[in-house]
Amino acid sequence: MTTAPSSELPDPGDWSRRYEEYLTASAGRSTRTLELYQDLLAAVSRGELAPTIMQELAASFAQARGSAYANELTALSSRFFTGLVELGSGYARDLVDALAPGTMPPTTAAPPNLDGSDWASWFRQLTDYATGQGTAALAAYQSLLDRVAAGEVPPTAMSQTSQHFLESRLPDHLRRLVSLCFELLSSLDDIRNRYSEEFLEGILRTGPASGDDALFALDLVAPVGSTTSATLWITNTQTEPTVVDWSVPDVRRSDGVGPAFSPDVSITPASIELAPGEDAQLVVSVVLDADSYEPDHLYLGALRVTGGDRELVEVPLRIKAVAVGTRRVAPTGDGAP
Rounded Cα distance, 9 and 177, in Å:
13
With cut-offs at 50, 70 and 90, classify the pLDDT of residue 289: very high
Helix, strand or coil, per DSSP, at residue 230: strand
Q: Which domains does the chain have, with CATH numbers?
A: 6-204 (no CATH), 218-322 (2.60.40.10)
Q: How far is CA 260 from the centre of its chain?
A: 34
Best CA proximity match to 296, nearest among 337, 251, 262, 326: 326
Rounded Cα distance, 321 and 223, in Å:
5
CB 75 within 8 A of CB 119: no
Rounded Cα distance, 296 and 301, in Å:
16
Q: Considering only 22-31, 155-164, 321-330, which range has the smallest mean pLDDT?
A: 321-330
What one-character DSSP code corresponds to residue 117?
Answer: T
- Specify the pLDDT at position 209: 46
Rounded Cα distance, 72 and 80, in Å:
12
Rg (CA), the chain: 29
Rounded Cα distance, 43 and 201, in Å:
12
- Encode pLDDT of 130-184 as tens digits: 787 777 777 777 777 777 787 777 777 777 777 777 777 777 777 888 888 888 8
Rounded Cα distance, 65 and 84, in Å:
29
Rounded Cα distance, 29 and 189, in Å:
8
Share of residues in the chain with pLDDT > 90 (%): 9
- Encode pLDDT of 243-265 as tens digits: 888 889 899 887 777 888 999 99
